[in-house]
């Protein structure tokens, strides 16, 4: 199958799948979450299990056309609802966990619960964002804008592993992963560049299969072939990176905010490291973004 | 006078000034530098002193209409040319130093020379970028994308001072300065947020005059009023920041690269901390960007 290079292609691919992804959503009582779920139901790739508070009548009415694929479990309390939804995922009744209208902390507490949560001991929790940017020819994956402030070398290996796997779920056969810095020079002055180099050398030795890893590169030499040429830099990514691994959360966050606000990017996001996909959207996200996050979760387990 | 809110306004303002800014440019032998200078000459706000290698005939011809405002000092060798240009600035024959086609290190060596350079002992060297971003209503100043990898608290105070001063040169009477982070929460978990808070409290006490400083804010809550409201955050900047002080060089660089590549921003840049403005453009910059950097240098000393 050819690689999925846009969100439209993602949705088309999912709507051709036989299997519906069962989404356990906590407190689907805001219009953004409900619209996102209904869109996934309309395209036929999801089932919804509404856990927690009961949506009001106007919102419930939106689910009417998809009644056979919607189930309700009324639970009072954010912690209780989150715990119940996690339980559904753990016992195989749902495939994906999704946050509706509740505090992120309350959802995460249930996800991270050592006995009854979704994060296996030893796994590193991280996050991947996907962006479709006007006039840019492909989906751009990047990590991490949400979880790890300053990744250690070991955490970074996990981040690369996660983004590699998600790229492959999008049928990208040789994911091109850029390790982002402000310089292209490897130097002991900036220890991060040495960490990057170690990863690049692993990839050169074939330890990452067909995945191509390069860095340090800046955002532009990672994704813009012309800029790479102008700077006279040789990179196996050729300015065609599929994914950017950010040096720290400040950089990831600023990148996220600038492409969404100034470049009008459409984004989707998904937690990494959990046994099952977790869609953790924020209040600022519109329903399209929440819908595309469900789609990303769905494709990652097809 | 009203604030300068776009590069066009900047150029108009400068072309109305009586005084021409004398630019000592090192090795103006590339078309980008020459075109930038000729544009500044054409708008009548600059004189050029071409120090170093002689431009070829085709490039020299471009200067012909402005002959009376162009002077040549032929010097062989990059270090020698840089030293000579710095000397012109030091002895009052030029107002601004500009980099043409030479290695940045060679120019900086002359600028940073302890006896004969342009950086007073104790001053902190930094850099400010200005961006005009399509569909964004004002110029956005940000620092630092070029010089200080991880600013100390003291260096950050200098950065704020510099950006405050440059905003004021653009006739912004109450510069709004955002201290950028990935969170809006002040917490000992992230020491930078405490440093930010100290600066914000200084501003609240009036120690920064009419300048408004707030942070931690993320890029979006700094510049987007709607996002600020959605997040329910109270900020004296009201999402109308003129300037972003970045937490580190990785963030500054990624922001710079993403707004230029993905949002098609036009940028200008200028070194800070030196006795006289230094225009330090890079190979990747087009002639428009170099021209606007000269304009920024010129307005900063009007």
Is the pLDDT assigned to residue B97 strictly greater than 80?
yes
| pLDDT tens sequence across A91-100 | 999 999 999 9
pLDDT in tens, A51-96: 999 999 999 999 999 999 999 999 999 999 999 999 999 999 999 9
Mind listing the pLDDT tens digit for each residue in B211-261?
999 999 999 999 999 999 988 999 999 999 999 999 999 999 999 999 999
> What does the pLDDT read at residue B161?
97
According to the model, what pLDDT value does residue B176 have? 98
Contacts with B263 from chain A: Cβ below 8 Å: 258-259, 262-263
Closest CB to B257 among A136, A219, A230: A219
pLDDT digits (tens, 9 = 90+) for B193-211: 999 999 999 999 999 999 9
A238, A253 Cβ separation under 8 angstroms: no
| Min distance A94 CA to chain B CA atoms (Å) | 31
Task: Using the predicted structure, report yes or no on whether residue B283 has a pLDDT greater than 80.
Answer: no
Q: Given pLDDT bands bounded at 50, 70 and 90, which one contains residue A284? A: confident
pLDDT of amino acid A285? 84
pLDDT in tens, A155-208: 999 999 999 999 999 999 999 999 999 999 999 999 999 999 999 999 999 999
Determine contact, residues A34/A64, Cβ cutoff 8 Å.
no
Which residue in A251, A252, A266, A282 has the most chain B C-beta atoms within 10 A of its own C-beta, making it the best mutation to test that interface?
A: A251
Give counts: helices (H), strands (E), chain A. Answer: 11, 11
User: pLDDT tens across B49-79, in order?
Assistant: 999 999 999 999 999 999 999 999 999 999 9
- Please report the pLDDT score of residue A101 as a whole number: 94
pLDDT of residue A60: 96
Q: Which residue of A has its CA nearest to B137?
A: A262
More confident residue, A38 or A285: A38
- pLDDT of res. B302: 86
| Residue of chain A minimizing CA distance to B132 | A262
Contact at CB, B250 and A145, closer than 8 angstroms: no
DSSP per residue over chain B, as a string? -----SHHHHHHHHHT-SSPEEEEEE---SHHHHHHHHHHHHTTSEEEEEEESPPPHHHHHHHGGGGGGEEEEE--SHHHHHHHHHHHHHTTS-SEEEE-SS-HHHHHHHHH-TTTSSS-TTPPPEEEEEEE-TT-SS-EEEE-SSS-SS--HHHHHHHHHHHHHHHHHTT-SS-EEEEE-S-S---TTSHHHHHHHHHHHHHHTTTTTT-EEEEEE-HHHHH-HHHHHHTT---TTTT--SEEE-SSHHHHHHHHHHHHHTS--EEEEEEESSSS-EE---TTS-HHHHHHHHHHHHHHT-
Question: Whose CA is closest to B28, among B1, B69, B3, B63?
Answer: B63
Q: Please report which helix (H) or strand (E) contains residue A140, including its range.
A: strand A140-143
CA–CA dist B188, B195 (Å, integer): 10
Residues contacting B158, CB < 8 A, separation 6+:
B123, B124, B126, B272, B273
Burial class (CB in 10 A: 0-12, 13-18, 19+), A31: middle
Chain B residues near residue A255 by CB distance under 8 angstroms? 254-255, 258
- Contact residues of B toward A, CB < 8 A: 133, 136, 145, 149, 180-182, 190, 218-220, 223-224, 227, 230-231, 246-255, 257-263, 265, 283-284
Task: Say if residues B33 and B100 touch (Cβ distance below 8 Å).
Answer: yes
Length of chain A: 302
pLDDT single digits (tens) A222-258: 999 999 998 899 999 999 999 999 999 999 999 999 9
B182, A254: Cβ pair inside 8 Å? yes
Question: For the stretch A156-168, what's the b/e string if a residue is b when 16 or more beta carbons lie within 10 angstroms of its beta carbon?
Answer: bbbbbbbbbebbb
pTM above 0.90, yes or no: yes
Query: Average per-residue pLDDT in chain A?
Result: 96
Judge: B219–A133 Cβ closer than 8 Å, yes or no.
Answer: no
Task: Check whether A128 has a pLDDT greater than 80.
Answer: yes
Q: Using 50, 70 and 90 to split pLDDT, how confident is the model at A36?
A: very high
- Give the orientation angle of helix B104-112 with respect to helix B78-90, to 10 degrees: 40
Q: What percent of chain B stands above pLDDT 90?
A: 96
Residue A283 has pLDDT above 80, yes or no: no
Q: What is the pLDDT of residue B284?
A: 75
| Mean pLDDT score of chain B | 96
CB-nearest partner of B230 from A220, A249, A284: A284
Q: Tell me what percent of the residues of chain A surpass a pLDDT of 70.
A: 100
Q: Of the candidates B49, B39, B43, B99, which has an alpha carbon nearest to the alpha carbon of residue B70?
A: B49
pLDDT over 90 at A281, yes or no: no
pLDDT for residue B159 is more than 90: yes
- Mean of the pLDDT values across residues B116-121? 96
Distance from CA of B288 to the nearest CA of A (A): 17
């Amino acid at each position: 199958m050819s690689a999925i290079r846009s969100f439209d292609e993602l949705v088309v691919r999912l709507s051709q799948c036989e299997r519906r992804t069962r989404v356990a959503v906590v407190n689907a009582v805001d219009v953004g979450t409900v619209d996102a779920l209904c869109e996934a139901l309309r395209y036929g790739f999801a089932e919804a299990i509404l856990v927690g508070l009961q949506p009001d009548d106007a919102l419930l009415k939106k689910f009417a056309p998809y009644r056979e694929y919607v189930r309700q479990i009324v639970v009072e309390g954010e912690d209780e609802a989150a715990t119940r939804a996690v339980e559904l995922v753990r016992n195989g009744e749902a495939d994906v966990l999704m946050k509706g209208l509740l505090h992120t902390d309350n959802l995460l507490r249930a996800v991270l619960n050592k006995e009854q949560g979704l994060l296996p001991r030893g796994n590193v929790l991280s996050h991947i964002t996907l962006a479709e940017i006007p006039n840019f020819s492909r989906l751009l994956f990047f990590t991490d804008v949400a979880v790890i402030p300053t990744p250690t070398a070991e955490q970074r290996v996990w981040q690369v592993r996660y983004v590699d796997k998600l790229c492959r779920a999008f049928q990208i056969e040789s994911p091109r992963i850029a390790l982002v810095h402000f310089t292209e020079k490897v130097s002991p002055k900036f220890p991060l560049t040495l960490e990057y180099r170690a990863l690049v050398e692993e990839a050169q030795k074939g330890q990452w299969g067909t995945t191509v890893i390069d860095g340090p590169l800046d955002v532009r030499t990672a994704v813009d072939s012309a800029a790479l040429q102008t700077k006279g830099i040789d990179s196996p990514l050729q300015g065609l990176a599929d994914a950017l691994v950010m040096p720290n959360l400040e950089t990831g966050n600023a990148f996220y905010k600038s492409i969404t606000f100034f470049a009008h990017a459409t984004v989707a996001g998904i937690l990494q490291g959990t046994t099952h996909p977790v869609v953790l959207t924020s209040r600022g996200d519109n329903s399209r973004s929440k819908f595309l996050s469900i789609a990303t979760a769905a494709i990652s387990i097809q």
